Amino acid sequence: MLTSVDLSDYMLHNPVKVLADDDVFVAIRKIIENRISGVCVVDDEERLVGALSELDCLRAILSSTYNQSGNVGKVADFMTADVEVCSLHADVVDVASDMLKKGHRRRAVVEDGKLVGQITCRQILRVIEEFNAS
């Protein structure tokens, strides 16, 4: 039974990311190409500064359309800056429980303030499937 599993064994080690100064269309392209629902936002030193979701991108596009502006804007203008994170060796069960409680589908993994990975519901389901098959 799944009781205590180290997060680093199951996280995505190279999550899709964009810079805060990138144009929103850079993020949209990465979201579409990678078939994901959002991206991590980092600074030039790989420190996590936020997250940008598909809904944030839609908000940016609609805002630009409404204002009849040809410029959609930068990722920093539409990202969520206050994101939940977890540590590299957090317990998967604890992280999954907190994600469920808060209604989050993904959680950035940081070490010394730098983005080192991401855990998603899909990775957690893989952990459960693996332990169930044992």
65-80 pLDDT, tens digit each: 666 656 789 999 999 9
Candidates 86, 103, 84, 113; CA nearest to 8 is 86
Q: What is the pTM of this model?
A: 0.85
Q: What is the pLDDT of residue 2?
A: 57
Q: What is the CATH number of domain 7-133?
A: 3.10.580.10
Domain boundaries along the sequence of the chain: 7-133
Residues 6+ apart with CB under 8 A from 93: 2, 3, 4, 5
